[in-house]
Amino acid sequence: MPPRPPMKGGPRKAKDPKKTIARLLSYLSQYKTTMVIVIVCIIVAAIAQAASASSLGTLVDDYITPMLSQATPDFSPLVKYLCLMACLYVLGIVSAFLYNYLMVDVGQGTQKKIRDEMFRHMQTLPIRYFDTHPAGDIMSRYTSDIDTLRQMISQAVPQCISSIATLVVLFIAMLITSPILTGVMILTVSGIVFVTTRVVGKSAGFFIGQQKSLGAVNGYVEEMIQGQRVVKVFCHEDTCKKEFDALNDALRQNAFKAGAYSNIMGPVNNNLGYIQYAILAIVGGLVAISSGGQLLTLGNLVAFLVLSRSFNQPISQVSNQINAIVMALAGAERIFELMDEEPEQDDGYVTLVYANVDEDGTVSEAPARTGKWAWKYPHKDGSITYTELKGDIVMENVDFGYVPEKTVLHDVCLYAKPGQKIAFVGATGAGKTTITNLINRFYDTADGRIRYDGINLKKIRKPDLRRSLGFVLQDTNLFTGTVYDNIRYGKLVATDEECEAAAKLANAHDFIMRLPQGYNTVLTGNGAQLSQGQRQLISIARAAVGNPPIMILDEATSSIDTRTEALVAEGMDSLMKGRTTFVIAHRLSTVRNADCIMVLEQGRIIERGTHDQLIAQKGTYYQLYTGAFELE
């Protein structure tokens, strides 16, 4: 397999933030009505905030100041005005609550849609993608990257819109209250904005680096969890700690720098706000005193100072939310990178259908399951031919490389007739598994041709091709669910009786019945409660339940001890009977009865024949069988 590229966690600029933002906005199009309501609520909340602040000037000039000169003050007008102000505050609170509540729903809905699309697209990706991308890095896109996106949509974006709307409304209110102080305000705000943009520019790259470093850490942790037994067997704990410390330190550095720049903005903006407040108070006081209240009254000065404090708050909020947006855009970019990966190509048009086969050999399509299958081959002239599925495989002069610059299979030719057992032997890395990966089209040949029942393999739709094949892979994967569920994975419509018959064929029935709930026992953690051999037996039963015409057994007994292997041998022979079978095995005793044994070396078939023929040749196979060479 091609080596995985190293994970780099350093800061970098977003490739195309405008494109990323435009793509995110497309997901919000389904919430047009909600977004209109949100914007209206934001505007109402901003107006209510500005109006309540401006009303302080009227409160001072028109109500409190006149009452100071009255011998017996009448408080009823003051109470009415205070009630009006209270209504403004309540209106602002209700509007703010409503738009925040609606944006949580928008954020969660968008998050779900993106996660669904990402998972659906992931199912279309070729095996090559998973060979070159760590599982933990992919997982971090579903977790941390998606979560930063949710926070941006539900919190950062509405907060920014609210802050901008508030700034506009407050600016208009301040301009009406005092044009002179508004001019002074613009000068001081310019300094605050300058400082904010410089800090944000510094932190953006580190937020992106933080997300990449987090993906690297997640990938390493997942690898260590899966390989914990290997780590302990080889006493590799200290080295693992050092490697993790290095990755974790890269994450810490990026997170520290991003957090430091982010956290410094609040205190800086607050202190600049206090300085601004003092400047406005001094200038406003001088203007009010020098003009005798003509240019600026005491009430207007109080209102303007309150408005100025309210004006600074949105600026601080925008600066804080910009960091969240930058981090979310970094996560969104990684999500869209996965979603933009080229899906597995499938140009096939030959499909697998139920078939009837007459006594004279005529093949026709059947409306329901008959126990026989056929390839439905549509031709350019509109005609359709049917070829009975038998399991005839031919490879002609096949070359292949996982990467273009390195060929791993050279001029491979093989002929497997229906019902034959073909075995591949050779050292690790000789190309045995690669051949089977080409048969099921996990990869396509670089040169040469593979024919299945006389049909070019590339013309067959991949789902139909793989439905006709049964796999027992070297790495056993069991899923969370019952034993029934795991066996039924090989044929989703299989009945319980068919699952049990497949388990009996693989000699797995006895140990399954000894489980706490038998076939209804729930397996978790990749079948952690089972032995490696038991997991492999369930995997064999899963392949058997589909009753495929071709079986591919990749080290199917590699994890089974000698005693268990003897138990499963009979079931394996029954499983292979009447089927074309490709067997990869290190234990040469398991392939002695193969119709043809192919010996591979560095991607080439160097010997082929039956066991007796290869022994008589006294070549590589003979030396492997007699122990003169080791397969490893």
Q: What is the mean pLDDT of the chain?
A: 80
Strand partners, 627: none
* Packed helices 298-339 and 179-226: angle between N→C axes, nearest 10 degrees: 30
Residue 326 is inside which H or E element, if any? helix 298-339
List CB contacts of 37: < 8 A, sequence separation 6 or more. 98, 99, 102
Closest CA to 153 of 8, 16, 328, 11: 328
Task: Please give the structure tokens belonging to residue 157.
Answer: 């974006």
Nearest residue to 348 via CA among 491, 469, 455 = 455
Mean per-residue pLDDT for 626-632?
A: 57
Task: Give 119-167 pLDDT, tens digit per residue.
Answer: 888 888 888 888 888 777 888 888 888 888 888 888 777 877 887 888 8
The 10s digit of each residue's pLDDT in 399-435 is 998 888 888 899 999 888 888 889 898 887 888 888 8
Per-residue confidence at 12, pLDDT binned at 50, 70, 90?
very low
CA gap 192, 185 in Å, rounded: 11
Spatial CB neighbours of 548, under 8 Å, sequence gap ≥ 6: 467, 468, 469, 470, 579
Domain segments of the chain as ranges = 17-339, 351-388, 393-626
Mean pLDDT of 478-504: 88
Residue 457 — very low, low, confident or very high, per pLDDT cuts 50/70/90? very high
Supply the pLDDT for residue 557.
65
The fourth-level CATH superfamily of domain 17-339 is ABC transporter type 1, transmembrane domain (1.20.1560.10)
Phi, psi dihedral angles at 398 (to 5 degrees): -85, 130
- From residue 579, alpha-carbon distances to 210, 558, 594 in Å are 53, 21, 12
Architecture of the domain defined by 393-626: 3-Layer(aba) Sandwich (3.40)
Q: What is the mean pLDDT of residues 83-98?
A: 86
What span, in angstroms and rounded, lies between the C-alpha atoms of 465 and 373? 12
Segment 296-314 shows an average pLDDT of: 76
Q: What is the spatial order of strands in the sheet that 373-378 belongs to?
A: 363-365, 351-357, 373-378, 384-388
Query: Cβ distance 303 to 295 under 8 Å?
Result: no
Non-local CB neighbours of 99 within 8 Å, separated by 6+ positions: 37, 38, 41, 42, 45, 158, 162
**Nearest-5° angle of CA 284, CA 288, CA 293?**
145
Listing DSSP states for 168-180 in one string gives: HHHHHHHHHH-HH
Measured CA to CA in angstroms, residue 508 lies from 27, 303, 489, 502, 526 at distances of: 49, 82, 16, 8, 17
Q: 129: burial class by Cβ within 10 Å (0-12, 13-18, 19+)?
A: middle
Residue 41's Cβ-count burial label (10 Å; 0-12, 13-18, 19+) is buried
- 522 vs 14, 221, 226, 414, 480, CA distance in Å? 45, 26, 20, 42, 7
Distance CA 166, CA 168 (A): 5
pTM of the full structure? 0.68
Under the banding of pLDDT at 50, 70 and 90, the label for residue 558 is low
pLDDT confidence of residue 226: 67
pLDDT in tens, 195-206: 766 666 666 667
Kindly state the percentage of the chain with pLDDT values over 90. Answer: 9
pLDDT, mean of residues 519-543: 84
Please tell me the predicted confidence (pLDDT) of residue 513. Answer: 92
Higher-confidence residue of 285 and 257: namely: 285
What does the alpha-carbon distance between residue 28 and residue 108 come to, in Å, rounded to a whole number?
Answer: 11
pLDDT at 537: 85
Distances (CA, A) of 119 to 141, 339, 425, 494: 11, 9, 37, 26
